[in-house]
Structures are given as structure tokens and as C-alpha cells.
Structure 1
Amino acid sequence: MKESILSPSDACRIRVQKRRFTGEIIAARRTVEQVELATIEYVWWWNNQRLHGCQRR
């Protein structure tokens, strides 16, 4: 069996983000196109804005 490379706190953060994403992004949209656009915007935010926000602290 392969060992997990995630710490328990990292795994918890991932679960929280997944719940947030499905609750706020997926559930609030009605069409596939709306979900696709919201997903693209979220991924952009996750890869860009979130990282820069951490550097400001």
C-alpha cells in the first residue's frame, strides 16, 4: 500500500475546499455552461489571487 503524502491537516483543508466548491459553485448554478464558467473563474482565483493574498500577510 502506498503511503499518503498529505498530512491530516492538509487532507482536512482539501475536504473543506471541496465542500465549499460544491456548495457555492455547483449548487448555485442551473446550467452546465454556468457551472463551467464558475469553475474556470474559481480555478483562476485558486491559482492566482489566493496565492497572492497569502503573500500579503
Structure 2
Amino acid sequence: MATNTKHSECELSMHGLRLERKLNLSGFFEWHVLNDANQTIAKNTVQHFAIDIALNTLQA
């Protein structure tokens, strides 16, 4: 599980992914992990959970 956010963001950039914070319809912010084609790979309201889901998706 990723605990250090800077290290996790570095891992994402190595895989060509980036992290964005977006407002959902309920008024809550969600963290979206996007690829180069702006497709959402993972999303969650907790930043490190979204990163972990994206990295696990890449490993599968």
C-alpha cells in the first residue's frame, strides 16, 4: 500500500499516469488516476486509495 504521496505520484508518472482531483455530482472531491488518453484508471475519495487501486490494476 502506498503511504508516501510524493513517492506514489512518482510511481504513477513512471507508468504514464497522472492524478487529478475532480468534483463529483454529490459535491465531494474524488481523486482520479488518468492515463495519457484521459481515461480514468481508478478513482476514490481518498488519494492514496486511488493510487493503490491504479497500481494494482497495472500489475494485474
Give the structure-2-normalised TM-score: 0.31
Give the structure-1-normalised TM-score: 0.32
Question: Does 1 or 2 have the higher relative contact order (CA < 8 Å, sep 6+)?
Answer: 2
